[in-house]
């Protein structure tokens, strides 16, 4: 299972145990609300709001355009197009989710799971999510239940407030992952319930999972014992499967790479189906596109060799490397095709050094305007902006697949870490420029620079190695609190691993400083100032058992209150 999935599931477990309802207003953070050309029908809902501030509408237009319902087109024609595209996406997303969560799932369970997810999407929103509004031409997202429900699977901001503000509502794949995790938890519990006669009774299992999805874990048998109107409505939709009336291309392969987005990649290359050609012309077709090998790397074919990077979202740097504009699409090659040429794999930082007028991780930039900082490159706005002329360190680089090499830089601004848009190869100078190191304030500094003094922070010390390469020889162990001077910095790998080049006792080498992604842990390895451990305070006199709020009795009282709150949450609706 991918690390992204492990992280998502861990977050969900903690969140479900700790979340409390929030009294958000109706249509929370809803600007540009529209009810024009809307209705309850497949692909449309009564109300939509702007994607901002939860996410970047440009990202949706560039990468998810196929599943935007365009209200400016004929409704019936657009509904048929949209439903075929979204059907392909839901199939891929649902299958990918279950395979990762339950690799031993049978084919029958896979089909039953797919039908269940399609029915949930029907029950909650008639498969509606993104909407191109005729009133202002802006891309919007579906909002239901007086605006509290976000997106296709209706993530409620009253019960999932933190996750909504972290982008789980607006981005359709994160929306589906979050909703499917809640549904899957109940799907797994269902066979143990009295209302489910057998593990493979898919109808009863589906109905049980939905009752709990809608009403909370304690309502898992509600559909049989005391059905609510939602249970009856869900079952009728399950039996009718009326979405099939709009699907004329059940085998359609969407251009949207659902698996890539489900893995947490933000800028996934769209799929491309090459036209059938005689075998001798394959190379001509391949020349025009990014290629994904059967081993997973994304490549360009150049002079009889595959030139590749590990992450699809880094592929634009290959266009820069070979001064060639490839279509912003990826052609998946078979294993046999993938073996036709030798392969050269580039570290992402080595490849990005060819980006025209680009900056490297660790370099200092200054912004030419106040730029909004997003949690991810195309994600939720932090509501914090950069300050014009202020210096920042580049902590990560994300490239869009547009041929103009749009780039986003991760920076730290006081306590906020996020991504800023920084133009493309034509407009970069309007956004950011080379900053002065002397203007980089301590609050915005994460990576040591050449000439900086650093101190070993780990109690076990730091290993001085001959090089940053895996398996390099160890020259020495440098003790905790030792002061070192940084001669140079190397950043490599998909997690932006940082190595400092230093000298110690006459030996030159590198020390591992940590990684910047998914979040920085550099301060655990080295600090910019020596940290002295303060002496322990004198022991306090023992207090009597009848003391105040620090007593064991007080602790268990709070524990009891917390338990009661948690039990109440389990009985409430999501």
At 166 the pLDDT is: 85
The whole-number pLDDT of residue 416 equals 96
Query: How is domain 364-444 classified at the CATH fold level?
Result: SH3 type barrels. (2.30.30)
Q: How far apart are CA 216 and CA 159, in angstroms?
A: 11
Per-position DSSP letters for 233-273, written without gaps between them: HHHHHHHH-GGGGG-S-TT---SS-HHHHHTT-SSPPPB--
pLDDT over threshold 60, residue 13 = no
Residue 373: per-residue pLDDT: 96
3-state helix, strand, coil in the chain (%, to 5): 35, 20, 45
Q: Which of 154-168, 333-347, 395-409 has the highest mean pLDDT?
A: 333-347
* Sign of the dihedral defined by the CA atoms of residues 294, 406, 2, 469, in that order: positive
d(CA 324, CA 327): 10
Q: What is the predicted pLDDT for the residue at 471? A: 92
The predicted model gives 530-540 an average pLDDT of: 54
Q: How far apart are CA 334 and CA 332, in angstroms?
A: 7
Residue 542: asked if its preceding bond is cis (omega within 30°), the reply is no
The answer to whether 522 and 498 have CB atoms below 8 angstroms apart is: yes
pLDDT for 233 beyond 80: yes
Is domain 453-527 in CATH 2.60.120, yes or no? no
Is there a contact between 388 and 368 (Cβ–Cβ < 8 Å)? yes
Pick from 26, 231, 292: nearest CA to 147: 26
For residue 252, the tally of other CB atoms under 10 A from its CB is 14
Q: What is the pLDDT of residues 312-342, one digit of tens each?
A: 889 989 988 988 877 778 899 999 999 999 9
At residue 37, does pLDDT exceed 90? no
Average pLDDT, the chain: 87
The pLDDT of residue 1 = 40
**319 to 109, 152, 259, 464: CA distances (angstroms):** 43, 36, 24, 37
Do the bridges between strand 416-421 and strand 396-399 make them parallel or antiparallel, or are there none, so unpaired? unpaired
Question: pLDDT, tens digit, for every residue of 363-382?
Answer: 999 999 999 999 999 998 99
Q: Residue 565: its pLDDT value, please?
A: 37
Query: pLDDT tens, 511-533?
Result: 999 999 999 999 999 999 987 65
- Mean pLDDT of the 146-174 span: 91
Lowest mean pLDDT among 46-60, 170-184, 438-452, 532-546: 532-546
- Flag whether pLDDT at 543 surpasses 70: no
Domains 364-444 and 453-527 in one fold: yes
Q: Domain ranges for the chain, please list them.
A: 3-19+26-242+255-260, 265-352, 364-444, 453-527
* Parallel/antiparallel/unpaired status of strands 305-309 and 342-345: parallel
What pLDDT, on a 0 to 100 scale, did the predictor assign at position 569? 40
Please report the pLDDT score of residue 400 as a whole number: 86
User: Residues 185-221: pLDDT tens digits?
Assistant: 999 999 999 999 999 999 999 999 999 999 999 999 9
pLDDT of 8 reads 45
Residue 381's Cβ-count burial label (10 Å; 0-12, 13-18, 19+) is middle
For residue 563, what is the enclosing H or E element?
helix 552-571
| pLDDT (0 to 100) of residue 571 | 39
Question: How far is Cα 45 from Cα 143, in angstroms, rounded to an integer?
Answer: 8
- Whether the per-residue pLDDT at 552 is higher than 80: the answer is no
pLDDT computed for residue 336 by the predictor: 94
- Beta strands 305-309 and 364-367, pairing class: unpaired
Q: Is the pLDDT of residue 500 over 60?
A: yes
Is residue 293 scored above 70 in pLDDT? yes
pLDDT, average across residues 51-66: 92
What pLDDT, on the 0 to 100 scale, is given for residue 104? 95
Measured distance CA(411)–CA(417) in Å, rounded: 6
Cα dihedral 293→297→303→305 (10° resolution): -70
DSSP string over 401-456: SSTT--EEEEEEETTEEEEEE---TTTGGGTEEEPPGGG--GGG--S--TT-EEEE
Q: Band of the pLDDT at 286, cuts 50, 70, 90?
A: confident
3-class DSSP string for 196-238:
CCCCCCHHHHHHHHHHHHHHCHHHCCHHHHCCCHHHHHHHHHH
pLDDT of residue 276: 65
pLDDT (mean) for 304-315: 93
277 confidence band (pLDDT: 50, 70, 90):
low
Q: What is the dihedral of CA 348, 353, 355, 360, to 10 degrees?
A: 90
- The Cα-based distances of 107 to 98, 169, 199, 262, 568 in angstroms read 11, 30, 14, 21, 37
Give pLDDT tens digits for 104-131.
Answer: 999 999 999 999 999 999 999 999 999 9
Rounded-to-integer distance, Cα 398 and Cα 412, Å: 15
Say if strands 130-132 and 68-70 run parallel, antiparallel, or are unpaired: parallel
Q: What is the pLDDT of residue 7?
A: 46
Give 243-272 pLDDT, tens digit per residue.
999 999 999 999 999 999 998 888 888 887
DSSP per-residue letters across 42-66 = TTB-S-EEESTTTS-HHHHHHHSGG
Residue 567's pLDDT band (boundaries 50, 70, 90)? very low
């Amino acid at each position: 299972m991918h690390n992204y999935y492990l992280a998502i599931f861990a977050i969900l477990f903690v969140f479900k145990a700790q979340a409390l309802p929030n009294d958000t207003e109706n249509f929370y953070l809803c600007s540009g609300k529209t009810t024009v050309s809307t209705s309850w029908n497949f692909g449309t809902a009564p109300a939509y709001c702007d994607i901002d501030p939860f996410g970047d509408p440009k990202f949706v237009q560039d990468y998810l355009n196929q599943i935007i319902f365009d209200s400016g087109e004929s409704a019936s024609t657009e509904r048929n197009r949209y439903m075929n595209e979204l059907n392909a996406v839901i199939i891929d997303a649902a299958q990918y989710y279950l395979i990762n969560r339950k690799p031993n799932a049978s084919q029958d369970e896979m089909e039953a799971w797919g039908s269940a997810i399609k029915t949930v999407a029907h029950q909650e929103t008639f498969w509606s999510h993104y909407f191109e509004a005729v009133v202002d031409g802006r891309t919007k997202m579906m909002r239901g239940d007086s605006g509290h429900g976000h997106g296709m699977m209706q993530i409620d901001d009253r019960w999932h407030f933190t996750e909504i503000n972290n982008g789980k509502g607006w981005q359709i794949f994160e929306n589906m992952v979050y909703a499917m995790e809640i549904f899957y938890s109940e799907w797994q519990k269902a066979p143990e319930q009295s209302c489910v006669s057998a593990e493979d009774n898919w109808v009863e299992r589906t109905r049980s999972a939905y009752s709990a999805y809608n009403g909370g874990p304690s309502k898992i048998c509600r559909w049989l014992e005391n059905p609510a109107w939602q249970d009856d409505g869900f079952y009728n939709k399950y039996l009718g499967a009326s979405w099939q009336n709009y699907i004329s291309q059940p085998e359609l392969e969407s251009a949207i790479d659902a698996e890539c987005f489900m893995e947490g990649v933000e800028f996934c290359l769209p799929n491309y189906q090459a036209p059938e050609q005689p075998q001798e012309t394959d190379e001509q077709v391949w020349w025009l596109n990014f290629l994904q090998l059967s081993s997973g790397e994304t490549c360009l074919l150049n002079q009889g060799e595959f030139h590749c990077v590990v992450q699809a979202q880094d592929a634009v740097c290959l266009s820069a490397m070979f001064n060639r504009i490839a279509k912003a699409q990826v052609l998946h090659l078979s294993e046999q095709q993938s073996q036709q040429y030798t392969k050269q794999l580039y570290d992402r930082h080595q490849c990005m050094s060819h980006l025209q007028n680009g900056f490297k991780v660790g370099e200092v930039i200054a912004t030419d305007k106040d730029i909004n900082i997003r949690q991810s490159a195309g994600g939720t706005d932090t509501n914090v902006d950069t300050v014009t002329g202020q210096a920042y360190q580049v902590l990560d680089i994300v490239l869009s697949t547009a041929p103009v090499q749009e780039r986003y830089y991760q920076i730290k601004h006081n306590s906020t870490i996020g991504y800023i848009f920084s133009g493309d190869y034509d407009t970069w100078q309007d956004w950011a420029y080379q900053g002065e190191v002397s203007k980089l304030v301590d609050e915005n500094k994460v990576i040591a620079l050449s000439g900086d003094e650093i101190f070993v922070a780990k109690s076990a010390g730091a290993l001085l190695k001959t090089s940053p390469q895996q398996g390099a020889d160890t020259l020495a162990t440098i003790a905790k609190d030792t002061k070192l001077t940084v001669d140079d910095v190397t950043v490599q790998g998909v997690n932006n691993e940082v190595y400092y080049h230093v000298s110690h006792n006459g030996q030159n080498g590198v020390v591992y400083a940590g990684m910047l992604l998914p979040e920085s842990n550099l301060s655990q390895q080295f600090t910019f100032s020596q940290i002295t451990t303060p002496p322990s305070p004198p022991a306090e006199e023992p207090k009597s058992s009848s003391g105040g709020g620090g007593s064991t009795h007080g602790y268990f009282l709070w524990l009891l209150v917390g338990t009661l709150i948690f039990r109440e949450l389990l009985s409430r609706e999501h």
